Amino acid sequence: MWETLAQAVINGLLIGGIYALVSIGVTLIFGVVKIVNFAQGEFVMIGMYISFFLATQFGIDPLVSLVVSMPVLFLAGVLIQHFLIRRVLGPNDMPQIFLTFALSLLLLNLSLMLFSANYRTVHTSYSDEAWHIGGLYIPLAKLIAFAVAMALSGLLWVFLHTTDLGRAMRAASQNRDVAMLMGINPNRVFAVAFGTALALAGAAGSLLMPFYSAYPFVGQVFVLMAFVAVVMGTLGNVMGALVASLMMGIAESLGIQFVGADSGLIVVFGLLLLTLAFRPSGLGARRGR
């Protein structure tokens, strides 16, 4: 019993690291640019396909292809922010929601046309490796993915807290107008935030590739998790999103273990609805505001 429980928690925690990369991206964009990127999951999908093609065409290990997927998606993010998102920023929600939503539909269906709905996998030397620690089973590929995901999140935290650009981003997310008055260039800050968020999604894709299949709809799984985590962790809060993602991974895994194989999503949505009912401003919200 306890071993099953511990195993489920470990499984959830490891996949939660990937959820964290996606949610941090969503919450970063929401915090700084003040829009919700509905297409975030599709960039995870693109990251996966980049790693898949580099692995099958050139034999490059998916973990190594991180150095390709992250810059490519960073650049994509800067371009998308500059040419698309910038044009719909304003008080009106409708264009923002449906522009990123259209982008999500477009990327998803384009990849369906180009790559078909087939599941693509990459088999690496460590895909089947696992550590056994006292009856517990820790798959190496997932452990690596978790460790890299946490390292990247840590790097982002350092970036946000120690560099001028990072501080400018945090300032913009706290109060955009005042930040602009202090001489922060909004377009530059927004572009970097969007690019960084997409780079994180790309990293998530590459990290997933050794143990997860790529297919056009794969992003939907992750983006739903991310949205729930971002609401739970208080909108725009990077640490909140990280903690909530790990919790969601664990909750999903416990749901799969103790309720049934297809009930992971029910548990996650249930959590979202409970959060909305009892703590609508999220778990990380400051009390007594």
Residues forming the site for another protein (CB under 8 A): 35-36, 38, 84, 87-88, 92-99, 101-103, 105-106, 108-113, 116-117, 216, 224, 227-228, 231, 235, 260, 262-263, 265-266, 269-270, 272-273, 276-277, 280
Helices and strands per DSSP (H, E), number in the chain? 11, 2
List the beta bridge partners of residue 139.
130
The nearer residue to another protein, 29 or 208, going by C-beta atoms, is 29
CB of 31 to another protein, least distance (A): 13
CB of 219 to another protein, least distance (A): 14
Long-range pairs of 258-262 with CB within 8 A, sequence gap ≥ 24: 258/8
Largest CA distance in the chain: 58
The nearer residue to another protein, 147 or 273, going by C-beta atoms, is 273
CB 35 within 8 A of CB 238: no
* Lookup: tokens for 25: 């991206």
CB of 71 to another protein, least distance (A): 25
The nearer residue to another protein, 65 or 100, going by C-beta atoms, is 100
The nearer residue to another protein, 136 or 265, going by C-beta atoms, is 265
CB of 1 to another protein, least distance (A): 25
Per DSSP, 212 falls in state: S
* Lookup: tokens for 100: 């990123």
Looking at this protein, which amino acid is placed at residue 119?
Y
CB of 258 to another protein, least distance (A): 15
Closest to 148 measured CA to CA, from 66, 219, 245, 246? 66
The nearer residue to another protein, 137 or 269, going by C-beta atoms, is 269
